[in-house]
Amino acid sequence: AQRVTQPEKLLSVFKGAPVELKCNYSYSGSPELFWYVQYSRQRLQLLLRHISRESIKGFTADLNKGETSFHLKKPFAQEEDSAMYYCAVYGGSQGNLIFGKGTKLSVKP
């Protein structure tokens, strides 16, 4: 069964430190992966998607098929990066995104 695992419920780093939010997936076939973010008092929104190979707000994510991972990275964390981050994989039927449980990132000054 398709599944997304985010092993850390909470990740706390200091401003300027590197950050890596882990995501492992289980999917048969060629996966399409996404990171969604929810800032305090805001709605869930797309941060980046594997298919676009983009960098948004300094974040990047590389698909590693051998390790079935799609970790989110940023070299220098900022306080405004504090938010809830969800990794998701396209589940194979229209509209079906399978989300992980999320990791709360806290960036301390």
Partner 1 sequence: ETGVTQSPTHLIKTRGQQVTLRCSSQSGHNTVSWYQQALGQGPQFIFQYYREEENGRGNFPPRFSGLQFPNYSSELNVNALELDDSALYLCASSATGDATNEKLFFGSGTQLSVL
Residues binding partner 1 (CB under 8 A): 4, 32, 43-46, 49, 51, 86, 88, 90-91, 93-102
Which amino acid appears at position 54 of this protein?
Answer: E
Rounded least distance, CB 67 to partner 1, Å: 21
Q: Which is nearer to partner 1, 77 or 100 (CB)?
A: 100
- Residue number, 31 or 81, with CB nearest to partner 1: 31
CB of 79 to partner 1, least distance (A): 24
**From CA 55, how far away is CA 25, in angstroms rounded?**
21
**d(Cα 107, Cα 83) in Å, to the nearest integer?**
9
DSSP state of 77: -
